[in-house]
Amino acid sequence: MARPVDARPGEAAPALWAFASFFALLCGYYVLRSLREEMGIRGGVDNLPWNFTATFGLMLVAVPIYARLVARVPRARAVPLVYRFFLLTLLLFWGLFRAGVAPAPLARAFFVWVSVYGLFVVSVFWSLLVDLFTADQGKRLFGFVAAGGSAGAIAGPLCVEFLVGTVGVANLVLVSAVFLEVSTQAMRRIVGWSRRSGAGDATTGEEAAREEGAALGGSAWSGVAMVFRDRYLLGIAGQMLLFTLGSTLLYFQVAHLVAASGLDSASRTRLFARVDLAVNVAALLTGSLATGRIVSRLGLGAALALVPAVTAGGFAIAAGWPTFWVLATFQALRRAASYAVERPAREVLYTVVTREERYKSKAFVDTVVYRAGDAGSAWLARGLSAAGAGIAGSLLLAVPVGLAGVGLALWLAREERRREIAGTPGAPS
């Protein structure tokens, strides 16, 4: 019987702690996600571009602050500090919801904040993992870790389903805060393993930079400059933009159909939770097995190209049958493939860059670039609607986006392999 993960001696414990940390992190996030989606619909689909733009603007403020933190504080302290900050903001929102302060503005603020929170905490999590695991370990273990996230993303909607009637909406925020603390404690265990074993970063030759007391140094904006100086990092940023373009165009079409469905608020919230549940069940069933097997047998390029290929084919099919269930099924399949295969494969790309690039440049790509793509795509979707393109016309626009993503994915995989063999992370390409 095949093992669910190809762990070598000494790797099982950190892989399980990483699984547990990601489980708790995404469980807490998905407790919030259904609430966020409903608040977006409640605020009006036509106002969603403003929500995405506000999220992008907040990212422009948050990322330099984070980069400044990791430039001056060792990772063993920086990562828990980031999580503690988000824990405090969760508790603040919980208190405001309980007090009934300004419901409408608070709902909009919550939508924006959850959009920032979800990207930031996941980016920080993976930054730590790619710092602690080698490229070979990442290819074997990250699919298993991603499956932990998928399991947590199943547990989160189930918590909403079973708890909301008992504890109420406000107290679901407190439930999410508890899961965030559990994730932080599991993350401490991973750092402890790295300290004891001397694992991680073995291929980079940055032994001094890996010392537990060492901060990254550099300026708050150095990670941004690195992206534009290195064609490899710029390619990863381009891959992120192409992914978000497809995601946001699809999100808007589904949102319009849900808004026009006539469902009440509670029914819409349950609908979003159930779609999330279906996505994450599919991701969990494939995640622990698929990524490592695809990378081992077909190569990293195949894993990276899977979602762009699904994007091109799925949008072409959906344009012919633009109904809610066709679009929702396509969205679920695309998101499941992203969580189970493409996301952990993309993290492998960062195992062959410098430590500073992992924390600063990666955070910039995962948050600012991602939300820039969201904001731009949101306004593009609104412009297409205003121009009378219709759902089918908007969907067809994403077909060449998917094809471009396939080509870029194959190039990135070749460049990752070249750097891995050369053992020179961050070398100009």
Q: Does the pLDDT at position 427 exceed 50?
A: no
- Domains, in order of start, for the chain: 12-200+213-422 (1.20.1250.20)
Tens-place pLDDT, residues 343-363: 778 888 888 888 778 767 887
Predicted confidence band at 29 (pLDDT cuts at 50, 70, 90)? very high
Whole-prediction pTM value?
0.66
Report pLDDT for 261: 66
- Residues 72 and 404: their CA atoms lie apart, in Å, by 38
Are 395 and 249 within 8 A, CB to CB?
A: yes
Instruction: Looking at mean pLDDT, say which of 74-83, 85-94, 258-267 comes out highest.
Output: 85-94
Instruction: Looking at mean pLDDT, say which of 79-88, 173-182, 325-334 comes out highest.
Output: 173-182
Cβ count within 10 A of residue 266: 11
State the amino acid at position 5 in one-letter form.
V
Query: Closest by alpha carbon to 172, among 41, 28, 43?
Result: 28
- Residues 81 and 87: their CA atoms lie apart, in Å, by 10
Listed in sequence order, the residues at least 6 apart from 95 whose beta carbon sits closer than 8 Å to its beta carbon are none
C-alpha 93 chain-centroid distance? 22
Cβ count within 10 A of residue 52: 28
For tokens 């795509």, name the residue.
377
Cβ count within 10 A of residue 127: 27
Which of 56 and 358 is assigned the larger pLDDT? 56
The answer for 263, left when phi > 0, alpha when psi is -120 to 50, beta otherwise, is beta
Could you tell me the CA-to-CA distances from 232 to 75, 112, 226, 338 in Å, in that order? Answer: 24, 30, 10, 21
Q: Give the mean model confidence (pLDDT) for residues 271-281.
A: 73
Cβ count within 10 A of residue 383: 12
